Structure 1
Amino acid sequence: MLRAGARHPDANELEASTSWRQDQDLDEQQYATLNEYLQLEYKFQPRLCLPADSENGEVTTGARDGAAHVLRCLKVWYDLPADVLISAVNLFDRFLTKMKVRPCHIPCITVSCMNIAIDQHAEDTRQPRNVTVEELVSVSQSACTAGDVRRMSRVITDKLALAAECRAGTALHWLRLLYSMMVRAAARLNVPLPPVQESDLVNLLEIAVCDASCVNARTGELALVIIYHKLEEQLVDWCARETSTGGTAECAFYLNDFAAQLQAYCHMSEASLVSTRNVVRAALSRYGARGRAHPQRLVWRLSERTLKVLRPTDRLTSLLPTIEEQHFAAEQTANRNRSGSESSESEETSDWPRSPVLPVYCNN
């Protein structure tokens, strides 16, 4: 018998065998998921062909990009996860691929796609949604009602057959899967990788999917190009800081080898991958040239009724004229004979309410 606290002679071999078996199971699970994504990639792939200028009342690429940036505004405004934004943009592009719509319906379709994406995320995470349809309509200023959004959501759900489909397969799912596979393979080979935050990759993906030039890019290629774009940037910084280039050369060789393996496994052609890389880099360059973290912003349109309420505040000043109080002011002031009645309705600030301090609100 073994003494208390003593280990079996074959304990290390058993632990190593168990760890290796777990790694094998995890690798098989990842490749099974990758095969599932490959089968669903065709179904989730938009194929838009939008004109740059509208000739016959068609939806243009500018309108598409505007809708995508409105979706990102809503995502930032309500602090929604990236899954909601990527799913909403994917729904929007797929619906425009399948249906011919008029430009006047784009705002309602945009909010409806966000509404469906929020419902899907709440169902997947089993958490109640914290954004109502009325709030989406109000903040987006889409000029439609909550009932219009609900009806359009049902139309989009029916046309895209969302009720019976598997919702895994967006570019974000590909991004997370490919990056986790790369990290695991590098750790198994003891290859050092430059530190990359998943949030940075997700931000790059959001920028890419909001650009119309990246719409028709293959989902797997888009995710792979974004991962390698960020890794190349980190690798350049890493080379500048490291005095020894041995680890850097090993890392670069591993990245190229892993990309070649994925490219062969996913049947990605070299020409298509290079084209996707050029398109993504151009989109990221255009975004970076603006010099702002979030180039889109909400434009608040005020109605005439709201302007009438807010107009008195335009004339408020922090400096008030001095009032001279003299006891003989009343005696020296000449009497005026009013030749006619003067009404404040003729003044420039005659719009209701006319109070210079507080606006008057009526409940009726």
Structure 2
Amino acid sequence: MLRAGARHPDADESPASTSSQEEVPDVQQLYQALNEYLLLEHKFQPRLCLPAESENGEVTTGARDGAAHVLRCLKVWFDLPASVLVHAINLFDRFLTKMKVRPCHVPCITVSCMNIAIDEYAEQTRQTRNVSVEELVSISQSACTAGDVARMSRVIVDKLALAKGCRYVSVLDWARLLWRLVAGAARELGVTPPVCQESELLNLVEIAACDAACANARASELALVLVFHKLEQQLVEWSRDGTGVPEDAYYLYDFAAQLQAHCHMSDASLVATRNRVRLVLSRYEARCAAPHRQRLVWRLSERTLKVLRPTDRLGSLLPTIEEQHFAVDSTPTRNRSGSESSESEDMSDWPRSPVLPVYCDN
């Protein structure tokens, strides 16, 4: 591993040595976190074995990907952090690993996993939960009730043995940690650290997590592949700018090999994960590049439509008003006499609204 060298006890203190001493605890903390992640990695590893086509009423990989995209839509709709989405998808995959699920129960399980992920995020950050179960049910259109989601959430917590306050390590945590290690290694090599926006790294993690092809990959392997995929993009941008790629930048691939050895990743498994990630990203980029010829159509269920516009009790048709048409010559004459008053006239065609008095200032 690339580690900062330990300072000799007899060395004189100088500003340079003091600054290097300040970097040592940071690097040591990163490697300490890396070892902790390795110890917890197997606890959150799913082992999905889903068929491509359902023969005996089993959940397929297409249904799994559909549930993952529903979770991503809920994340975007309620503006939830990416860690909630990745945790919910991991709960869904781990539950399908242990339990045999019927396709009709998939919508309820999907919303329940998001419900658990939101609860754990609120508990971890010590914030008030701002998304209710009723809102999750209404927006997801899962055809289940809030009581069904609450009961299914308890089943998932029991089957997965989720302990309260237990630390969860996701592929997103791995990607953030490995990127910080790569940036630290670039600084040690004297290379300008590669630039990576947080949103770009989160987008790559979400794309990989939502595809069933990457569901069974180790979180460390998947994160390492995504980090160096972003690094390759950075090297391509440097070459296009005309500035040229520093020769020392290629030593970061040696650092990747050292990370691979430290995390006990085999070459065959890492290459297989890299091929799957490239396939998933190429499919995603192809869909994004395709022109959208179909207009966006919102399809709402009857229950959701009544919630959004509660007009179910109103009549859609008004009664026909029958009118009598008289010719000019046959218009009946109204005979008035001095003894008749307006109260004796026929008032059946008068509006039924009450007459309100009008008060004048004068």
**How high is the TM-score relative to the length of structure 1?**
0.77
Corresponding position of 1:259: 256
Q: Aligned pair in 2 of structure 1 residues 332, 284: CA closer, same or farther (>3 Å)?
A: farther
Larger radius of gyration: 2
The 5 A counterparts of 1:28-177 are 28-163=28-163, 166-177=166-177
SS in 2 for 1:111: helix
Provide the rounded CA distance (Å) in 2 between the counterparts of 1:28 and 1:45: 26
Aligned length: 307
Aligned-CA RMSD value:
3.0
Q: Aligned pair in 2 of structure 1 residues 83, 330: CA closer, same or farther (>3 Å)?
A: same
| Structure 2 unaligned regions, length at least 5 | 1-11, 318-324, 332-362
Quote the offset at 1:168 in angstroms: 2.9
Q: Aligned pair in 2 of structure 1 residues 15, 333: CA closer, same or farther (>3 Å)?
A: farther
| Structure 1 unaligned regions, length at least 5 | 1-11, 316-328, 336-364
Q: Aligned pair in 2 of structure 1 residues 250, 314: CA closer, same or farther (>3 Å)?
A: farther
Provide the rounded CA distance (Å) in 2 between the counterparts of 1:164 and 1:64: 27
| 1:55-97 CA distance string (max 9 Å, x none) | 1111110110010000000000001000100000001101111
Corresponding position of 2:278: 281
Q: Aligned pair in 2 of structure 1 residues 212, 128: CA closer, same or farther (>3 Å)?
A: same
Provide the rounded CA distance (Å) in 2 between the counterparts of 1:129 and 1:53: 38
SS in 1 for 2:216: coil
Q: Aligned pair in 2 of structure 1 residues 272, 141: CA closer, same or farther (>3 Å)?
A: same
Q: Aligned pair in 2 of structure 1 residues 274, 305: CA closer, same or farther (>3 Å)?
A: closer
The 5 A counterparts of 1:242-253 are 242-243=242-243, 245=244, 247-251=245-249, 253=250
Quote the offset at 1:198 in angstroms: 1.9
Q: Aligned pair in 2 of structure 1 residues 334, 170: CA closer, same or farther (>3 Å)?
A: farther
Corresponding position of 2:27: 27
Contact 1:239 1:248 in 2 (8 A): no
- 2:261 aligned partner, one-letter code: A
Quote the offset at 1:184 in angstroms: 1.5
Contact 1:95 1:156 in 2 (8 A): yes
Corresponding position of 2:188: 188
Q: Aligned pair in 2 of structure 1 residues 183, 308: CA closer, same or farther (>3 Å)?
A: closer
Q: Aligned pair in 2 of structure 1 residues 297, 304: CA closer, same or farther (>3 Å)?
A: closer
The 5 A counterparts of 1:294-309 are 299-302=299-302, 306=306, 309=311
Runs of 4+ in 1 over 6 A off after TM superposition: 295-298, 312-315, 332-335
Contact 1:73 1:297 in 2 (8 A): no
Please say if 1:331 is aligned against 2:312. Answer: no
Quote the offset at 1:148 in angstroms: 1.0
Provide the rounded CA distance (Å) in 2 between the counterparts of 1:300 and 1:14: 69
Corresponding position of 1:4: none
Q: Aligned pair in 2 of structure 1 residues 235, 164: CA closer, same or farther (>3 Å)?
A: same
Contact 1:133 1:146 in 2 (8 A): yes
Provide the rounded CA distance (Å) in 1 between the counterparts of 2:251 and 2:316: 64
Provide the rounded CA distance (Å) in 2 between the counterparts of 1:21 and 1:155: 50
The match for 2:265 among 255, 264, 268 is 268
Matched-pair identity in %: 63
SS in 1 for 2:208: helix
- 2:248 aligned partner, one-letter code: E
Contact 1:92 1:110 in 2 (8 A): yes
